[in-house]
A = this chain, B = another copy of it.
Amino acid sequence: MMAPENAGAVQPNTAALREFRLEIEEFNVEYARVLDEFDLVRWAEDFFTEDAFYRVTGRENFEAGLPVGLIYCEGKPMLKDRAFAVLETTTFAPRYLLHMNSNARVTQVGADEAIHAQSNYMVLETLVEDKTRIFQAGRYLDTFVRQDGRLLLKKRDCVYDSLIIPNSMIFPV
């Protein structure tokens, strides 16, 4: 499970892999910051290709090959719909979120120059009058492509370990 995708792979040299790794780290830091600031409009607009696939799903479902996810978006319009839906939700209790990103690795660079990568994420949550706790922890399984010099997500599967998710799970990670 979570095996690297090998069809048509062109494995570049290590120096190139490191460059990709460092670039993906920087991408993830910006991505996390925008989410931590609840700027969901920018999240949907700035980090994905037009036809991007985005999903948040539990590890058990993912490893069973089930397509369903707690969040499931095909294409930017669905990402934007999701962003507006969250922003208009009135049941969203005030809280702070803080992403800790780590363990980025490039698994493969495809013949089409798509970059397959993984990394770990942990989102900390702090509600008013409560202590900081782990909201969600898991792994990003990504496919990046380059457009106009910038990396964009063509696919991001957020596979979370956390089996019990607080009520705010609707929030993208």
Contact = CB atoms under 8 A, between A and B. Distances in A.
A130 B18 contact: no
Nearest to A95: B161
A162 B126 contact: yes
Interface stretch (A5-13, A65-73, A132-140): A132-140
A80 interface: no
Interface string A100-133: 1111110000000000001010101010111111
Interface residues of A, number: 42
A131 to B, nearest CB: 5
Nearest to A118: B33
B103 A103 contact: no
8 contacts: A29-B105, A98-B139, A100-B120, A126-B161, A126-B162, A128-B163, A129-B163, A131-B162
Ranked nearest first, the 4 interchain pairs of A and B with the lowest CB-CB distance are A96-B161, A126-B161, A132-B162, A131-B164
Interface of A: 1-2, 18, 21-22, 26, 28-30, 32-33, 37, 59, 96, 98-105, 118, 120, 122, 124, 126, 128-134, 136-139, 161-164
